[in-house]
Amino acid sequence: MFRQKYPFYVLQSLILSALLNRFLTVMFEIKEVISKEQRMQFVGFPFDLYRSDQYWVPPIKKDEIKQLQPSTNPSFENCEAKFWIAVDNERCLGRIGAIINHEYNIKTGEKKGRISKIEFVDDQLVSTGLFKSAESWLIEKGMAFVHGPLGFNNLDTQGLLIEGFDHLPSIASVYHKSYYLKHFEQAGYTKENDWVEFKLTLGEKALEKASRGAELIKKRYGFEVVNFDSKEELKKYIQPVFKILNEAFSDLPYVTKFSDRLIKTIGDKYFRVLNPKFVKIIKKEGRVIAFIIGLPTLSSAMQKAGGKIYPFGFLHIIKALKNPTVIDLLLTGVDPDYHTTGAAVILFAELQKEMQKHGITQMETTGMFETNLTAISNWKNYDHIQHKRRRCFVKALSA
């Protein structure tokens, strides 16, 4: 015989509450982000969505707001973009951006738009509404395909996390809710490219091999290694580093050249969080031909900062920079003319020597394309795990 666990009026109340919550979830509007208040909602939404998630690393809110406006984001010189939020009467339920990088479309000869900064509650009506808003605008602008998540340029965060939800990301990587994948697939998006990320642990084998190989290569090619003790010493190398970045990465997917104004903006943004000791430069006859930028991991510090540099966020960041425990491999670049010389071996050997001085044994790579087997094969000299994967999706658009 059925035994009622709760009185009828309690069951009735629970059912009505569930129906009401469902009703409130689906009653929403998609609004274009235009006002200052809406920009704040757009930037603030992930802080609510991931509030109880121990692995999400919040960005700096001020930097995020700057990205949404042509007056503070030089990428708008070559890009068009719009942003939307899904809102009900009281709360934000999701957000999405759409970007057209005209320079990239000229480079590839395709008409592709990008979806960007997408986040949403686990409700298909909400995600569908966001996708359709972005896609409709891209169709209006003559785009034949949409891909993403992507940013304005390849130093913006890229891809949707699909593996590695129990690992803390670096500040140059991404973190997402695990349910996002099913929403992308249900909306008709398929795989275009995957990035993979690795955790590397230094051992004697890697250290000895890198040191031995580096010395041979330096003697053979007459390379000079430049080390740094202060940020002031780094300043004059910002332009040469981006010159190499523009040349070395030019053929990669999603990449366009950085303008002088964009170089200054990105340089200013990252310059403040660099520890110069983990930046290494190689010169040949006075010319910069390769670089590596390692960054003491700031993930935990950024979590403590909670999206704000002031009044106390910068203290957590400074502490992490001065007392590094893990190094994030932020960027590596070699002039194409010297790509086959083994310059990268010197870069890693020099970085590892610096890590040894600080008692650091672990490195985190940022994303590399899963098809870049040559680079991935370098990790065989380390104790390593491939612990994260993120994906760029693509979808054909139809009017």
Mean pLDDT per 10-residue run, the chain (399 residues)?
Answer: 46 53 68 97 98 97 97 97 94 97 98 98 97 98 98 96 97 97 98 98 86 95 96 93 95 96 88 91 97 97 96 94 95 96 96 95 95 91 95 94
Give the tokens for residue 108.
Answer: 């590839």
Cβ proximity of 41 and 153 under 8 Å: no
- CA pair distance 224, 217, nearest whole angstrom: 11
Instruction: Report CA 104 to chain centroid distance, whole Å.
Output: 19
Domain count, the chain: 2
Based on the fold, state whether residues 119 and 261 are members of the same structural domain.
no
387 is a domain residue: no
Based on the fold, state whether residues 183 and 251 are members of the same structural domain.
no
Mark which of 173, 194, 215 sits at the end of a domain. 194
354 is a domain residue: yes
The pLDDT assigned to 10 comes to 46
Cβ proximity of 151 and 182 under 8 Å: no
Over its C-alpha atoms, the chain yields an Rg (Å, rounded) of 23
- Domain with residue 332: its CATH number is 3.40.630.30
Based on the fold, state whether residues 222 and 338 are members of the same structural domain.
yes
Based on the fold, state whether residues 178 and 221 are members of the same structural domain.
no
Distances (CA, A) of 14 to 6, 9, 200: 10, 9, 50
Give the tokens for residue 291.
Answer: 């670089």
Alpha helix segments (H runs only) across the chain: 8-26, 36-49, 61-67, 102-108, 124-140, 180-186, 204-221, 231-234, 238-248, 260-271, 299-305, 313-322, 343-357, 373-377
Distances (CA, A) of 301 to 43, 176, 269, 307, 334: 19, 19, 17, 10, 30
Q: Which of 222, 342, 229 is nearest to 280 (CA)?
A: 229
65 is a domain residue: yes
Q: Coil, strand, or helix at residue 97?
A: strand
Cβ proximity of 196 and 396 under 8 Å: no
Evaluate the CA torsion angle 64, 69, 72, 75 in order and state its sign. Answer: positive
Based on the fold, state whether residues 261 and 185 are members of the same structural domain.
no
19 is a domain residue: no
Based on the fold, state whether residues 356 and 253 are members of the same structural domain.
yes
- CA pair distance 143, 234, nearest whole angstrom: 41
Cβ proximity of 64 and 309 under 8 Å: no
Strands 145-148 and 112-120, sheet pairing: parallel
The overall longest dimension of the chain from CA atoms, in Å, is 90
The pLDDT assigned to 18 comes to 55
Cβ proximity of 299 and 170 under 8 Å: yes
Question: Which residues contact residue 125 at a Cβ distance below 8 angstroms, ignoring those fewer than 6 apart?
Answer: 25, 26, 28
- CA pair distance 350, 193, nearest whole angstrom: 32
Mark which of 128, 162, 194 sits at the end of a domain. 194
- CA pair distance 306, 179, nearest whole angstrom: 24
372 is a domain residue: no
- CA pair distance 363, 313, nearest whole angstrom: 24
Based on the fold, state whether residues 36 and 180 are members of the same structural domain.
yes
For residue 263, the number of C-alpha atoms closer than 13 Å in the C-beta half-sphere is: 17
Based on the fold, state whether residues 168 and 229 are members of the same structural domain.
no
Q: Omega into 149 within 30° of 0, i.e. cis?
A: yes
Q: What domain range includes position 54? A: 29-194
Based on the fold, state whether residues 101 and 184 are members of the same structural domain.
yes
Q: Which of 335, 338, 296, 333 is nearest to 318 (CA)?
A: 296
218 is a domain residue: yes
- CA pair distance 150, 159, nearest whole angstrom: 6
Mark which of 136, 167, 194 sits at the end of a domain. 194
9 is a domain residue: no
Based on the fold, state whether residues 50 and 143 are members of the same structural domain.
yes
Based on the fold, state whether residues 81 and 115 are members of the same structural domain.
yes
Based on the fold, state whether residues 35 and 133 are members of the same structural domain.
yes
**Which backbone phi and psi does 343 adopt, to 5 degrees?**
-60, -35
139 is a domain residue: yes
